[in-house]
Amino acid sequence: MSKYDIIVLGSGPGGYVTAIRASQLGFKTAIVEKENLGGVCLNWGCIPTKALLKSAQVFEYLKHANDYGLSVKEFDKDFNAVVKRSRNVAEGMSKGVQFLMKKNKIDVIEGFGKLKTGKKVDVDGKEYSADHIIIATGARSRELPSLPQDGKKVIGYREAMTLTEQPKKMIVVGSGAIGVEFAYFYNSMGTEVTIVEFLPNVVPVEDIDVSKQLEKSFKKSGIKIMTSAEVTKVDTSGKGVKATVKTAKGEEILEADIILSAVGIKTNIENIGLEDVGIAVDRDKILVNNYYQTNIPGYYAIGDVTPGQALAHVASAEGILCVEKIAGQLVEPLDYGNIPGCTYASPEIASVGLTEKQAKEKGYDIKVGKFPFSASGKASASGAKDGFVKVIFDAKYGEWLGCHMIGAGVTDMIAEAVLGRKLETTGHEVLKAVHPHPTMSEAVMEAVADAYGEVIHL
């Protein structure tokens, strides 16, 4: 039996980052993976979807070349080539993780891992032991009883990334990050897209102003949106698919070639031995303390399988914190109130902290500032005037409670707010920090200036 200091179960952005940090700290480390190194994020999620979205963005540029004083007489898309590029990007990233495993002297154990008592892991019949076992098995597309996936006419995100033929009509059920990103991609490619959202607003976790702006931008680009709507049944017996949608006005039948189910995720915790070991689970999540220890000593869990936000950067941060705690380092628990969320449709969405509604519900007396990109010189020059930056401050102490952005490139701008909140900066400090001009990022300063009644360019 091979013996390790740490075995990590799963090699997604939680698992492989955890393994590397463990190795850096001097632990003899192994990682177990049943499919591809990099997990869903690198192979079927974060990375290949961004490759698809970049192709859509370039196609959009070509369609609007005249807006930039350019004449492009002939251009077209090759849907299969777009998909192939995305898969090549994912393959390259997975190979990069393979290199990192070798560089950090981490043993990669291929196969399906199952937890055993006594700090052991069984991988397809062969046992391995470790002083510490970290579960990082991630999640997959969730299925609704009324929307069973057949992989052909009713699909999840994996199939949406590798279709061999572009659908003429698509229904996207769910308007979280996955739903709106694919809605944007397929609409840009020329597919007729309808979004069906159960709640009253698209991207329902975002600030209401962001939701309204995305709906406005999407409708302008030709995407149909149905909110407060529910798919109650689907009929796949014909050539395409028929979806019965229940709304306040009654039932409506939508017809399409394909339905994409983007209604959330289901954790991968079945058949990995949790019950055999006695690890506590509640509502599809493994219960852990602030340092990701389960109720059974020597077993830990990070990432999507735990109650925190199901985001790649959260999984990575949790894994690093977990092994640093095991190494005896002085670490502070992760602040889940300061986790940025990003959606990579066009316009992009990025946010951190409280929404305006949440701040009011918590009893804060607030100052709210908003700066539209239509007033930004850089946005105007770039032809990307949709969207805004919105900031929320506590009126009494100047604490930065929340920041919400929608527009071009905002996923690269949100880190300023995350860092500012981490350092407990005040509104006046952000306002007096000189921002470069002309940039999209100066909209943050302008929004803060608006909150304090000092805005110049609005």
Which residues are known binding-site members for FAD?
A: 50, 113, 304
Segments of 87-229 assigned E as strands: 107-110, 113-116, 120-123, 126-135, 139-141, 154-155, 169-173, 192-196, 224-226
Angle, to 10 degrees, between the axis of helix 208-220 and the axis of helix 177-189?
A: 20
What is the Cα–Cα distance from 72 to 65, expressed in whole angstroms?
A: 7
Tokens of 345: 């449709």
Angle, to 10 degrees, between the axis of helix 177-189 and the axis of helix 46-63?
A: 40
User: Coil, helix or strand for 87?
Assistant: helix
Choice among 64, 313, 428, 437 that is catalytic: 437
CA angle at residue 231 from 228 to 235, to 5 degrees?
160
What is the Cα–Cα distance from 206 to 353, expressed in whole angstroms?
A: 10
Neighbours of 375 (CB within 10 A): 16
CA angle at residue 135 from 132 to 138, to 5 degrees?
160
- Residue of 339, 333, 287 whose CA lies nearest to 313: 339
404 classed as catalytic = no
What is the Cα–Cα distance from 402 to 174, expressed in whole angstroms?
A: 25
Neighbours of 250 (CB within 10 A): 7
Phi, psi dihedral angles at 443 (to 5 degrees): -65, -25
Which residues make up each annotated binding site?
50, 113, 174-181, 197, 264, 304
Instruction: Give 450's Cβ-side CA count (13 Å radius).
Output: 19
> Which residue is associated with the tokens 């990307």?
384
Instruction: Name 309's Cβ contacts closer than 8 Å, sequence gap at least 6.
Output: 336, 339, 341
DSSP tag of 426: B
- What is the CA 53 to chain-centroid distance, rounded? 14
Residues designated as active site? 437
